[in-house]
Amino acid sequence: MSGSLVARTAASRRREREAEDPGAPLLETTGLTKRFGGVTAVDSLDLTVGRREALGVIGPNGAGKSTLIGLLNGAHRPTSGTIRIAGRDVTGAPPHAIARLGIGRTHQVPQPFAQMTVLENLMLGRLYAGEPASFSDADRDCRAILERTGLGAQAETPAGRLPLLSLKRLELARALALGPRLLLLDEIGAGLIEAELAELIALVQELKRDVESILIVEHVLDVIQECCDRVVVLDWGKKLVEGSPSQVLADPQVAAVYLGTGSASAERRRLAGARAGEGALLSVEGIGASYDTFRALRDVTFAVEPGEVVALLGANGAGKTTTARVLSGMLRADAGSVTFKGTRIDGRSPHEIVRLGLVHCMEGRRIFADLTVEENLLLGGRNAASKAERATRLGRVYELFDVLAMKRNDSGATLSGGQQQMLAIGRALMADPELVIFDEISLGLAPVVVDQLYGALAELNERGVTMVIIEQNVERGLALANHVHVLERGAVALSGTPDELRGDPRVRALYVGEARGEA
């Protein structure tokens, strides 16, 4: 970049800053809405981030937090509403234009250019999206950022070789290379152990002195309490409450959305219960698992008796979905063992595990949108011995979900969110399983639809199907389970019956922490 172009572009930015309304918030959204098909992820949201403010955004799974970040940095286009930066309407602007206005973001899963060095990752953003700079100035600035973020000694290391904490630091450094006025931090604390988390919190606290404003989306509440001036809680894409960290975390409405205690429909259901004398159908002993350098599971142990419903509960990032992936063979355990019907299944492929009778109904529905309802279901029944057996299984699914029978020839893409979830459940049942893992089937669905789905699960259990239910909504899990295990940071922190855990203050502490006094 030539010196004259740098000077012209810098002068243009100065004129833009001088033309701003100094009384306007640095960031303001009005009626911000984003729909994905029939799902409203962000719903008429009014939000402000003041100058020199760190705003925290929290909420349970499906609350709309990550979608909000995507809207603010241009990755998603709003369905309606406006986004203003320092009074300037930037609604619908693409990510590169948003970055050049001074908005930097980190990603929950670090996404560096793995083959490039740490320094080169920063230089790329600095030269092409950040404040205008010559190559030598950019090199100097990027090295200073690396020193500031604790990566100075790793400047020439390929980014793909960094451990998790260093990758988190690199995410911050890359965002800072843009010279941001507003820093968007998306789940920056996810996956870190306590010592690493303390280092990251200290770094974010330092950055508050250098960056004009910060918006932090986070489920690790230590980060929220230590780093934020104000907190907004989202639920179903809407703003629920806002205030100081201590006010918000002490609010009973916040506990209700995390724990599900606000759902009057989560009634205790009569379950078939374990079949006496048969022994454990599934035994999980001390399993551990990792994603590259991220240690997702440390020590998960539990058992499931034939006919039981076992609930795995826990906050975002506790390890629930990773446990399901290990049980179904999608992720290899690096410690411990998994035994199903007396056979070790850890290390086996997913299709082998399905043939043994263990099926995983995954989070996010994962239907084939271009296929019809019946074609989706028949794919799940490929292990049937005959056409007659497939037809019998299909009839059982249609009996459970009659709306699928009515829509059997419709494309999966035309279904509502609730109908797609019914289809995902039905496809899992087409394998005629002895045990089904249901992973967050209530995610993003209206309460009335969730009631229908959980009613169907209770009916399945009465038919003899054993279940592991993964839920963030505590009351939903307690209402259906015989036994409950609450996960925290990749290990089982609490276990017991629903009656033993309902109202236990330790459950609330694992989800929303203990509110602290103001500093």
Query: Domains in the chain and their CATH numbers?
Result: 3-111+180-250 (3.40.50.300), 282-512 (3.40.50.300)
pLDDT of residue 6: 35
Longest distance between any two alpha carbons in the chain, whole Å:
83
Token pair of 471 as six digits: 């839920």
Helices then strands, counting H and E runs in the chain, come out as: 20, 20
Give me the phi and psi of 466, to 5 degrees please: -85, 145
pLDDT of residue 409: 92
pLDDT of residue 18: 52
Question: Cα separations (Å) of 502 from 131, 403, 484, 507?
Answer: 53, 34, 10, 8
Let me know: does 146 contact 155? Beta carbons within 8 Å: yes
pLDDT of residue 20: 61
- Grouped pLDDT means (10 residues each) for the chain, 519 residues: 37 52 84 86 93 90 85 93 93 89 83 90 79 79 90 91 86 86 85 74 85 88 88 90 89 74 46 59 94 84 94 85 93 93 93 93 82 91 89 91 90 82 90 92 72 87 92 79 90 90 78 48
